[in-house]
Amino acid sequence: MYYSDIVGQDETKKSLINAVKNDNVSHCYIFEGPKDMGKYDLSLVFAQSLFCENFNSEPCNTCGDCIKVNSMNHPDLHIINFEEKTIKREDIDILIESIYKKPYEAKKKVYIIKNSHDMTLQAANTFLKTLEEPPKDSVIILLTNNINLLLPTIVSRCQVIKFKDINQNEIRKFLINKYNIDEVKAFITAYYSKGILNKAVNIATGKDNILEKRKEIIELFDNIIKSDSEIIFECENYFEEQKDNIDKILEIMMLWIRDVAFIKNNMGNLIINKDFTELANKHAMGMKVNDVDELIDYLQSVSENIKNNVNYKLTIDRMLFKIQEVFKIW
């Protein structure tokens, strides 16, 4: 692997590269960021950099150490909690037994702990003792979605690297070049990925069905505003079945209303759901512009009301009637 294979995180990559080149590597790092942000992939490239016999800003990918890392067969690379389950005291005991032994082949050993926040309290306290007197020939990388779930005493002994959302344009270009998808789909995918590259890849390859869900909700919205009030009661079963996904449904509805409002105000170039432009134009014809902001505020309050255990069925019914008020029934 190469650092250039990983989209975004340019400042972090530069910092890690310089640390290797200047022999200024910390004994323990914390990589913090949302799931699927690329923390694991970057930790592997960093480990490979530490092993590489010919490192020069990038691993050479031709030496024996690089080949073994790429095939996940390097004896000095240890992945802890690969299955991302609870990390128990016994797991840390095994790590400690290994960490105080000399490397088998390389100058250093690297330990990557996935979902490090899933350590039990016993495991965390045992691990802390290792950080108090870390071996000089070992580098530990803790991966976590939320640093606040780690013991403060662990955090204080590590170098923290926070992963940032990736620019949507970077994701869009990556999808076009890597997966050969068209400009419109790349644009939409990048938006719905929310700056998380692996999520964008999963959307593009069909492993994440958010775009199909979006299509379903937009078509439902279309059906609601084209029908009379009886459709409200026909939709009740759908919303009951989708109760656990209501926040996602509301988010997509609000984005759709925003797109329609942009078209109504001759700003169609700003819409996100570009593949539904024709339908958005039809909806714009019946939209009452002055009521749009109020409708979006209302949808936001729906989410809060549901969290506060307000009657779910009644809340949904009122929301759907409100939507019909803002969009003229054809």
Model pLDDT, residue 307: 80
322 and 185 in a common domain: no
Model pLDDT, residue 183: 93
Specify the CATH number for the domain of residue 133: 3.40.50.300
* pTM, to two decimals: 0.71
147 and 39 in a common domain: yes
Residues in contact with 263: Cβ distance below 8 Å, sequence separation at least 6, in sequence order: 271, 277, 280, 281, 284
156 and 18 in a common domain: yes
Model pLDDT, residue 130: 86
Model pLDDT, residue 330: 52
Specify the CATH number for the domain of residue 260: 1.20.272.10
174 and 153 in a common domain: no
Distance CA 68, CA 105 (A): 11
Model pLDDT, residue 231: 81
156 and 7 in a common domain: yes
192 and 220 in a common domain: no
Q: How many separate domains does the chain show?
A: 3
pLDDT in tens, the chain (330 residues): 888 888 788 889 999 999 999 989 999 999 998 887 889 999 999 999 999 999 989 999 999 999 999 999 999 999 998 887 889 999 999 999 899 889 998 889 999 999 999 999 999 999 998 888 888 899 999 999 999 999 999 999 999 999 888 888 989 998 998 888 999 999 999 999 988 888 898 999 989 999 999 999 999 999 988 888 788 888 888 888 988 899 999 999 999 999 999 998 899 899 999 999 999 999 998 888 788 888 888 888 888 888 888 888 888 888 898 988 888 655
Model pLDDT, residue 10: 85
150 and 29 in a common domain: yes
Model pLDDT, residue 131: 87
157 and 14 in a common domain: yes
Model pLDDT, residue 329: 56
217 and 108 in a common domain: no
Domain with 175 in it: 168-204
239 and 131 in a common domain: no
